[in-house]
Structures are given as C-alpha cells and as structure tokens.
Structure 1
Amino acid sequence: MSNLTKNNKTTIQITITIIVIAGGLFAYLNWYVAPDEVTERVKMIANTPDGCIAESSDGFSVNIGPCDAEPGEFIIGTYDAKIKERRALMNPTT
C-alpha cells in the first residue's frame, strides 16, 4: 500500500471520528441540557429580586422570572419543566 493511500484512510477515519463525536455532543445538548418550557397557571409564593417564585400544578416551586404579582395570586407563568428532573438528580434522597 502506498503512503498516499494510508494517509487518505487515516484522514477519513479521523474525519468520521470527529463527526461522530460532534453529533453525539449535539444530541446530548439538545436532549439533556436544552430547556423544556411549560406555560401553565401557577400560584405565586414570593416575589424576589431574582424573579417570582411560584408553585406549579404538581407542587414544585419554580422561578418564572420577573413579574408584578402578589403572593397567593394565580397567574400564567412559563418555566423549565426539566428543573424537576435536575433537582432529583442533585438530591437522590427525595
């Protein structure tokens, strides 16, 4: 086998490896890291400088961002639904 053929095979293998790794990273980012936003009616718990804390329909407290609602009010809020999954991964005892 000539050196040119060996170099071409090596270059193709490296290129395929890079494409597979990049594709895997892209899939990981889209599946696990990208937010899954949900908009629903939530009950306000507190209004903090970091945003409004509300209780979702399944009882989780979520940050819905800045708002002007008072605690106890029901408003429509958008939050990241994957926060519950991430919270469970960080605290497996619950």
Structure 2
Amino acid sequence: MQICPMAYIVITFPLEVRPMMRDPQVLALLRKKARRLLRKRGYRMVFTRWHYFGEHGEKYHPHLNILCDGGWLPEEQLAELKDSIRRKLLPRSIAKGI
C-alpha cells in the first residue's frame, strides 16, 4: 500500500472573532463546516485538529490544522480554496476584508 499525496492546511482566525471561539460548540461547528466544505470539493480523507496557542503560549490563538488527500495545488486553485473557506467559516463582513 502506498501513501497518497497529502495537503496540510492551517486555518487561522482574525482577532475580531477569537472571543466567540472560546465556546467548544463554536469550535466543533467550524471544524464540521471545514470538513464538509473540503469533502464537497472532492477531498475524501480529511483529518482535523485544533490548536489554541501560538509559539509562546501566552495568547489565545485558535487555529485549525487540516491534513487531507490531494497534495499540491496551483496558485489559482489554492486562492479559490482559501476564499471558499473564508466565506464558509467567517462572518461576511470579516471575510471580505481578508
């Protein structure tokens, strides 16, 4: 059995939405939305893991790590994927500004 090419995606969130992300139900919903979006786009294996702190651990910095099948994407496809993730996971007013 061979290991298929995998992609590693890190989704970070702006400071404006981090206070609401202290709720475990919100984190669970965002994780499910990200998985659902990637599966709709054709990714079959999607593994997710939340991390809550940066390098030094002094600030709350939730970010979602995703490992999925598919490997490298051309720049245009990657930009389109990032936009679709932003639109799905962030409030519209914030997603537009990023």
Ranked by relative contact order (alpha carbons within 8 Å, sequence separation 6 or more), the top structure is 2
TM-score normalised by length of structure 2: 0.24
Structure (1 or 2) with the larger CA radius of gyration: 1
TM-score normalised by length of structure 1: 0.25
More helix by share: 2
